[in-house]
């Protein structure tokens, strides 16, 4: 039965994204995310402008045929900076959440499987960090490490670590009492084999879906740090930094703050909608149980 379940799990994971894209909401949200990612990757091919070249004679230009989204206070093309800013927002958020998921799964799996003193130690640290808002944890870490992309990535990774560790711990504790885990242990399987061959493959899907949803929050956190000048440093474009510079120009050149804000808002909403589609496609009631 273990072999049958092992072959069913990859099929479930392989079809999860396909199921999400079959829904109307998932297709629209996923399509926007794919389009944005491609536009960010190939930004240097899609726009004739450079994100850091100033043209003061074109400063505060409204949207036009030559500058579709207008220019900022230094005459830089806003669409170009939004596309390059997407590179920062998406890469920082995805990499940070990926690292947070990886570390959280390791800690949560160890705590849930071994229990005892190790579980109490890890749970205490996790609960302590969980009691503070993510933005407060991020601000403290950035203040220690220093502003910039590296500091932002470390801050986001640590800020969201607790939720993945708690979720993995709960999943592992629920699965380790299954009959096939007891059978594997009785047959002499090592702790490493049980953890990485049986427990984590069964616990990983809900954690990945949670990570997908947390990526939207990470984009907001990255933009918040950028808004306060603690994220990517000039002249590197950042959605948060662009909105920060646009606040003082809201009535003179509102497009400077509106368009980066729309890009961030649409992206976060799309991530949440696609995450909901993933949850619907997951359909935990159809997951095979191993007896």
pLDDT digit string, tens, across residues 144-202: 998 999 999 999 999 999 999 999 999 988 888 777 777 877 777 787 878 888 888 88
pLDDT digit string, tens, across residues 18-73: 888 888 899 999 999 999 999 999 999 999 999 989 999 999 999 999 999 999 99
Boundaries of domain holding 212? 2-59+67-286
Burial of 264 (0-12, 13-18, 19+ CB in 10 A): buried
At residue 132, the pLDDT reads 86
Residue 114 lies in a domain: yes
Residue 92 lies in a domain: yes
Asked whether the whole model's pTM tops 0.95, one would answer no
Task: Give me the CATH number covering residue 154.
Answer: 1.10.3720.10
Distance of alpha carbon 106 from alpha carbon 168, whole angstroms: 8
Distance of alpha carbon 175 from alpha carbon 9, whole angstroms: 14
- Structural tokens at position 216: 């939207």
Residue 291 lies in a domain: no
Q: Does residue 288 have a pLDDT over 80?
A: no
The total of structural domains in the chain comes to 1
Judged by phi (left if over 0) then psi (alpha if -120 to 50, else beta), residue 83 lies in alpha
Residue 218 lies in a domain: yes
Distance of alpha carbon 68 from alpha carbon 77, whole angstroms: 8
């Amino acid at each position: 039965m273990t072999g049958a379940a092992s072959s069913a799990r990859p099929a479930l994971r392989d079809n999860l994204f396909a199921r999400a894209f079959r829904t109307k909401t998932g297709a629209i949200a996923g399509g926007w995310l794919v389009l944005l990612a491609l536009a960010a990757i190939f930004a240097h091919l899609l726009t004739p402008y450079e994100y850091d070249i100033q043209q003061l004679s074109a400063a505060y230009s409204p949207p036009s045929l030559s500058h579709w989204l207008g220019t900022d206070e230094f005459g830089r093309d806003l669409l170009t900076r939004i596309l390059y800013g997407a590179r920062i927002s998406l890469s920082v958020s995805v990499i940070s959440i990926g690292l947070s998921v990886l570390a959280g799964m390791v800690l949560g799996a160890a705590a849930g499987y071994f229990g005892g003193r190790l579980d109490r130690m890890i749970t205490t640290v996790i609960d302590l960090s969980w009691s503070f808002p993510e933005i407060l944890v991020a601000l403290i870490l950035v203040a220690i490490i220093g502003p910039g992309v590296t500091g932002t990535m470390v801050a986001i990774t640590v800020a969201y670590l607790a939720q993945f560790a708690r979720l993995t711990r709960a999943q592992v504790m629920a699965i380790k009492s299954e009959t096939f885990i007891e059978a594997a242990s009785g047959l002499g399987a090592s702790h490493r084999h049980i953890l990485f061959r049986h427990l984590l493959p069964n616990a990983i899907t809900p954690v990945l879906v949670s990570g997908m949803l947390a990526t939207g929050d990470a984009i907001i956190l990255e933009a918040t740090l950028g808004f306060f000048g603690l994220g990517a440093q000039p002249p590197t474009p950042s959605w948060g930094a662009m909105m920060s510079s646009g606040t003082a120009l809201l009535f003179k050149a509102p497009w400077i703050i509106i368009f980066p804000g729309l890009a961030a808002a649409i992206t976060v909403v799309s991530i949440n909608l696609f995450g909901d589609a993933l949850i619907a496609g997951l359909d935990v009631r159809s997951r095979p149980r191993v007896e």
